[in-house]
Amino acid sequence: MIAKSDVRRALKQIKASPVSPKRRSTKYCLVLSGKHYPSKHVVRLAYEMKHNRSAEGVFQGGKQIINILESLGYSIGPCESLPTCQDWCISD
């Protein structure tokens, strides 16, 4: 479906431009090098960049997203324990 290289490409794009507030995480974030990223948005973007089509209807929810990212070696943390997980979306 997606590879670690696809996630890296998606993260690079996310770092280059702000994430819309509607794409922010509400429960879980991808945690990488002290930064927190909206896990569903990362996977959706990685899929769309790889396959050049919409990811609408491809993923069934948070648990599937967590499994995908963890299987690729990424760490996931709950947003309530990550006080800055929303902040970077606007200002980073």
Mind listing the pLDDT tens digit for each residue in 34-85?
A: 788 889 999 999 999 999 999 999 998 889 999 999 999 999 987 765 555 5
pLDDT at 81: 54
pTM, two decimal places: 0.83
Contact 76, 40 (CB under 8 A): no
Position with higher pLDDT, 21 vs 64: 64
pLDDT higher than threshold 70 for residue 87: no
CA dihedral 38, 39, 40, 45 (to 10 degrees): 80
Give the pLDDT confidence score for residue 83 in this predicted structure: 53
The closest of 27, 35, 33 to 92, measured between CA atoms, is: 35
pLDDT > 90? residue 10: yes
State how many domains the chain has: 1
Domain span at residue 30? 4-91
Query: How far is 9 from 50, CA to CA, in rounded Å?
Result: 9
CA-CA distances (angstroms) from residue 73 to 23, 53, 76? 22, 25, 10
Eight-class DSSP state of 18: P
More confident residue, 63 or 22: 63
